[in-house]
Amino acid sequence: MYCSLKLVQAVVIILLLVTPLSLQCGPGRGSGRRRRPRKLTPLVFKQHVPNVSENTIGASGLSDGAITKEDPKFKDLVSNENPNIEFKDEERTGADRMMSERCKEKLNMLAISVMNQWPGVKLRVTEAWDEDGTHSKDSLHYEGRAVDITTSDKDRAKYGMLARLAVESGFDWVYYESRNHIHCSVKSDSSVAIKIGGCFPGYGMVTTQRGTVAMDHLAVGDMVLGVGSGGQLEFSEVITFLDRNIGETALFYTITTEDGRTITLTAKHLIYVTDSNCTGNVFDSSVVVYAETVKPGQFLLYGNHDDNVEYLKASRVTMVTSRTERGVYAPLTHSGTIVVDGVVASCYAVINNANIAHLVFAPIRGLYDLSAHAPWLTQLSDVVNTPDPKGVHRYAKVLYNFASLFLSRSVLYVP
């Protein structure tokens, strides 16, 4: 078993070393200071961003082929039930709610921006997945990767700014196509450019041995509060960051409990919940779920560092809200857990099984531990485990690409 683990570690190290640096993405980390809001400039009629063709790599990319109801790929489309979006649905079939996972994510982010920009006004979708063949041959509408949008008040004077808000929300191509609507599209969900991680915002507070600090001030080597295998609070070392990008904008979910506790994290980040406020070791009776699936009535686990605390406690969820934030942080601790704003969360995302996720990151922990006892490994450990200042950790990307070939959708989130 030991030899097998050593072999796995060696293979992973080789993969990491040959993985091209082009996998890195996004702007640099910056100073950590809160940026001033940028002045947004509306798009003008017939302008598109980026200034390339929709079906190029620099935009939404080539068509993967139309999806029909009989197509096996139809099950990959999702229905957008966001109450903050109006759907025209003139066909009365629900087709305008059907879209790819990435398109849904960007549309939900845009819906929040619209409400913030124009209080009382909602985002309106006039066309999403096309089941009737009304668009051109290679239209991304046939794959649920494109939407045509307006505002709920149909005020054309707002459409230029609406297009700009769509750009800011992360759509891969935005076109002020018509006086009557804005056209937006996204890359294929199978594209390697899709963000796969799960993160916390920079203002999330964690407890370290040097005091309470914000997530954006946490550093590799810090001992941060998490949960041990026995379900008790303990400090665990931060060995790297799976994601850290001050310039990245993401959709965050804020979960609030009946005693006023809140935790904010991205949709596919794992968090511990229970279905009852049981006595004893609630950690043993908890399960990990994606943050976006947490519902009022479930219980989050919480605890503060106290030598007299034997077990964690549970608090009932009363509300779940979402909003966009700039800045994403995903520290990886040795225990695989972390307490953020007093609430217990996993360090992992995408794979919805914390035990599997912890196992597959064993090479990262192993290399970090070995370097402490073998000086000649220190430089290699620094290369592998030093946080990528521009985004998702290279190992996490390589791991996801391999895992998507072998793990089912019930375990691995595949958009």
Q: Give dist(CA 386, CA 382) in Å, integer.
A: 5
Alpha helices in 124-195 (DSSP H): 159-168
Q: Give dist(CA 207, CA 195) in Å, integer.
A: 28
Specify the pairing of strand 85-87 against strand 123-127: parallel
Q: Considering only CA atoms, which of 340, 329, 345 is closest in space to residue 389?
A: 329
Q: Where in the chain is the domain with CATH 3.30.1380.10?
A: 48-185
Q: Considering only CA atoms, which of 345, 334, 327 is closest in space to residue 385?
A: 334
pLDDT of residue 351: 72
pLDDT of residue 322: 83
Q: Considering only CA atoms, which of 243, 197, 199 is closest in space to residue 400?
A: 197
Burial class (CB in 10 A: 0-12, 13-18, 19+), 39: exposed
Q: In a structure prediction context, what are the per-residue pLDDT tens digits for the chain, which is 415 residues long?
A: 434 444 344 444 434 433 333 233 333 333 344 445 568 899 999 999 999 999 987 899 888 889 999 988 898 899 999 999 999 987 778 889 999 989 999 999 999 999 999 999 999 999 999 988 888 888 999 999 999 999 999 999 999 999 999 999 989 999 999 999 999 999 887 654 344 457 899 999 999 998 999 999 999 889 999 998 778 889 999 988 888 888 777 788 999 999 999 999 988 899 999 988 776 678 888 999 989 889 999 999 998 665 445 568 899 999 998 887 888 899 999 999 999 999 999 998 867 777 777 787 787 787 777 766 665 555 554 545 555 555 555 565 555 544 444 444 444 443 3
> Number of H helices and number of E strands within the chain?
7, 19
Q: Where in the chain is the domain with CATH 2.170.16.10?
A: 2-25+194-406
Q: How far is CA 408 from CA 53, 192, 353, 360, 414, in A?
A: 35, 18, 12, 15, 9
Which run of H or of E encompasses 412?
none
pLDDT of residue 17: 38
- Give me the residue label for tokens 């950690």: 283
Q: Rounded to the nearest 5°, which phi and psi values hold at 67?
A: -115, 125
- Give me the residue label for tokens 């990767």: 145
Which distant-in-sequence residues (6+ apart) come within 8 Å of 49 by Cβ? Answer: 43, 163, 167, 173, 174
Global confidence as pTM: 0.60
pLDDT tens, residue by residue, 218-254: 998 899 999 987 788 899 999 888 888 887 777 889 9
CATH fold for domain 2-25+194-406: Endonuclease - Pi-scei; Chain A, domain 1 (2.170.16)
Q: How far is CA 258 from CA 129, 132, 265, 276, 300, in A?
A: 39, 47, 18, 14, 10
Q: Other C-beta atoms within 10 Å of 382: how many?
A: 12
Q: Give dist(CA 107, CA 129) in Å, integer.
A: 13
Which run of H or of E encompasses 234?
strand 233-257
Q: Given 3.30.1380.10, 3.30.43.10, 1.10.3470.10, 3.40.50.720, which CATH number is that of 48-185?
A: 3.30.1380.10
pLDDT of residue 8: 41
Q: Hey, CA dihedral for 289, 328, 187, 354, is it positive or negative?
A: negative
